Structure 1
């Protein structure tokens, strides 16, 4: 080959090699589950969305009631639609969520094949991808009383938040609930497999989020209600290897709800309802695993809805492996993750737990429910952390906005803070948001994001008045609990006795 021919050949070869690597658009990402193809929605053009990425094998057949198994790598994944929610426990009860704010309920279908994550990340241009520091990651666990819930809920979609800040990534998981997630059956080694789903979703995030632009050293585990209880529980379950760098628990703690079925009779009773009566533990499990998921769901939901006795329930049980019966003792023995946390509750949580009427049950009943179901258990969770010197940033949310709470008694009900945090308050509810509502929303978002960005420093923001606000670590001896949206003040520091003085055992 002559020199000129060789030079021409090498030039063509170099051109061909450069073409082998496609231009980076951030929408095709290699993961441990396979190559994922995301999309960009025209309403949030600065956000890459990856909806429905499997993090575990479908828990079907022999995998029903079993710990999740990591998803094996397969072919390309078209991540352009929400995955089905996990099988729900159905109810005909009338609540503010069914009658007034269905935006918090799940959309779409249900399936046992439900162990998926959903990711929202800023668009990253090819010219910037090697210069930009990896972003903090918020991994969100949805609530639902451990009997329902999932990622596909219009009140809790973070696309506009990510669009506005361009400085963080949000991952929202599905996990098994009710009997599918918390079977507590004799013969099972793991009785709270729904909590193991959550751990696997965190592990998947650790192993894959860098490919989406995330920082594996700055993963915050965040949840609300049952999701918050899961977050607080997670710290006690994984004291030596939490993976995450911080925790955020909205309206929930490790003591919020657990099963009293220590004799493990609920599963046996339910098995009898679906044709698996009088069998040994192993045979009973095998039998129920063969029952169609919809049949099992209907039997459970219809029986509980009938109010018949004996009452049964499938929520986390204290097995002292994933859930602990005495978190105070565990904290005092140092058996809790040594990472900072934000914890708090809402002023009128009780409105989310009563049968719906326009007038409501009255202020005294609402206050009693607020304290007993959410506020006092959260106070105990905060106090446990304070006793051993773990940095904790405590809040109470008092916002009462007519587009989110159009019925008078609702106020700062259970979940009411979420539309402000996710940025959905001005598009999914009833009418425009007020300037004050935007101020509260942006302030809370900035504090949550500041905390996720640098947990060891504590949340710090510049206020609308161009002043620096540093959220102090909570101390029961000082005014160190942040009160959001009370009166006309976006935030202020108050004494925790505003809540705890009405609790016993704190």
Structure 2
């Protein structure tokens, strides 16, 4: 290891020979491998509540692929081979996107710079690390359209590295049309963003030993679309062998709006994009050739217009079942067991859908208890729920309405349906697809842990007081945002302890596939494995506890009942316009189909 990791000093200079001459005396933040000398800088990290102070060697903006520009736009990434001396002391530009911004925080300065030359990664190595060390590779979320620039600050790996004694790698990948445009043929197959991620994982396999890491002990983890990406790598044969463990936070490859199974639909969207930038020029080859010459900012603006055409509850450019990277529908892969068998941790949040209420009604941001009427509940279902607004089949929509109406309060004309919508969206999009993954992996013999994050934060990711444990509210705890003064993210003492617990759980799992490594400085709930039929999971909060069968009834509805109902209604019931009357469930042919299926499933 000493021959692989060579530590030198560095005094900043302008001339290369000056750099090489002064590398040998001071700063222990230079790593060499067979191809290049990479120098970064040492930063101080502090977790004040637990008296943790460490120095972390940080290497920023290391390229893992050639810039995907010109003829390389809409093509698989090409491996970057570094030579000579590389300055890894600053972040590189974000991938082209609409700038992501967390309410209540100033956008990081680096978020202002955007470039297609963005395929870089960052490495965080705590000093005095026992080697070879476990490695955690973070894949950011953002709906496959944003979040790659501000993530440099929001997803600083210093806390995980320092508290957990692991090496953390954060990566960027192509987004939107640049990352996922597909013409449904060999001209542009799509999934370029997923290919970028896989190439970054290959870089880790080839180079992380030089940083003191163990290429055989790599955990990939991500949130939202990042978790969806992890879900893709779990089922993609192209990713086999690139990691040993996985953690998904609120997302899977079977989550609605995080995967496109209709290749022809993606082709139509590619041509729709072309028509918006004067590239409506014929077949796939001419279309893509023209799109390669379009200015990147014009392309980003146009892809937003395509999303508007598709609808608010769906993204225009997504990972697609292409027969190669994703060989077939991931749901079928999970059923037949042909996925990559690694140990995994799967989870979601308790109030996932509240952020959708906020996105639909930003004027409610300053309210303390927004009121969602029965009519608004149905409007939100229609606009935001994938399997509601898309289908326009009365019996299907009424089944969802029935499932998520609180019938104990429904007779009250002033009943608030906000919670019902939040649960409907969260179950369909995140919780129940996660359950499918957890069951498939547990049945395969893998070590599986399941969690459900239910803590209502004192400061919300979305800057509102009524969102509960909604989407993304786990991120400040996983990455210890309050440990970084620049983020201005204050927490209570109990939340600081929750942060410590989560970081320990995540990093312990990465190191040993067991989140429960004894820790004399902190007391945590013992977390037992998720196995069938017990289905135990950790309710993750300031008062964590073990429970069983998270959202069991609701997930039986989405994973078993609803698909069978859809299959029946596709044959027996013609699509109709929703009447917004729950009583219609008890009327007509639709009600007979629904009733017969309910009886059949219950027997």
TM-score if structure 2 supplies the norm length? Answer: 0.72
Go from structure 1 to structure 2 and tell me whether the alpha carbon gap of 1:391 and 1:273 turns closer, same or farther (over 3 Å shift).
same
Provide the rounded CA distance (Å) in 1 between the counterparts of 2:299 and 2:446.
43
Which residue among 282, 285, 290 is the counterpart of 1:287? 290
**Corresponding residue for residue 259 of structure 2:** 258
Q: Distance in 2 between matches of 1:28 and 1:463?
A: 32
Distance 1:211 1:88 in 2: 33
> What SS is found at the alignment partner of 2:420?
helix
Whether contact under 8 Å (1:90, 1:301) holds in the other structure is no
* 1:86 alignment partner, SS class: coil
Q: Distance in 1 between matches of 2:93 and 2:23?
A: 34
- Root mean square deviation, CA, Å: 3.0
Cα 1:286/1:467, change in 2 over 3 Å: closer
Specify the alignment match of 2:548 in structure 1. Answer: 495
Is the Cα–Cα contact under 8 Å of residues 248 and 345 in structure 2 kept in the other structure?
yes
Q: CA deviation at 1:24?
A: 8.4
The answer to whether the 8 A contact 1:277-1:284 is kept is yes
2:122 matched to which residue of 1? 118
Q: Which residue of 1 aligns with 2:230?
A: 231
1:387 aligned partner:
443
Does 76-85 or 50-59 show the bigger shift?
76-85
2:427 is equivalent to residue 371 of structure 1: yes
For residues 382-439 of structure 1, the C-alpha deviation after alignment (integer angstroms, 9 at most, x for no partner) is: 1222332322110000111213365222111211111111111354666632221122
Q: Corresponding residue for 1:399? A: 455
Deviation per CA, 1:79-124, whole angstroms, max 9, x where unpaired?
A: 1221212111579xxxxx6545677998232111000001111125
Unaligned runs of 5+ in 2: 1-20, 47-53, 373-417, 561-603
1:259·1:313 contact (CA, 8 Å) conserved in 2?
Answer: no
How far apart are the structure 1 equivalents of 2:215 and 2:170?
A: 16
Alpha-carbon distance between aligned partners in 2 of 1:492 and 1:66, rounded to the nearest angstrom: 47
Task: Summarize the Cα distance change of 1:431–1:147 in structure 2 as closer, same or farther, 3 Å threshold.
Answer: closer
* Corresponding residue of 2:198: 199
Partner of 2:135: 137
How far apart are 1:244 and its partner, in Å? Answer: 0.9
- Considering fraction of residues, name the structure with more helix: 2
Distance change >3 Å, CA 304–CA 331, structure 1 → 2: closer
Compared CA separation, residues 199 and 24, structure 1 to 2 (3 A): farther
Q: Give 1:181 shift.
A: 0.5
Query: Which segment is superposed worse, 183-192 or 411-420?
Result: 183-192
1:505 is aligned, of 556, 559, 565, to: 559
Structure 1 residue matching 2:499: 3-state secondary structure:
helix
- Separation in 1, partners of 2:228, 2:30: 34
Whether 2:91 is the aligned partner of 1:82: answer yes
In the alignment, structure 1 segments of 5+ residues that lack a partner are 1-18, 92-96
How far does the alpha carbon of each residue in 1:146-173 deviate from its partner, in whole angstroms, 9 at most, with x for none? 11121533332122343344x1111000
Correspondence for 1:11: none
* Partner secondary structure for residue 546 of structure 2: strand
1:424 aligned partner: 481
Judged with a 3 Å threshold, the aligned counterparts in structure 2 of structure 1 residues 296 and 327 are, in CA distance, closer, same or farther, namely closer
* 2:240 counterpart residue number: 241
For 1:199 and 1:377, locate their aligned partners in 2 and report how far apart those are by CA, in whole Å.
Answer: 23
- CA contact under 8 A between 1:261 and 1:317: conserved in structure 2? yes
Q: Which residue is equivalent to 1:176?
A: 174
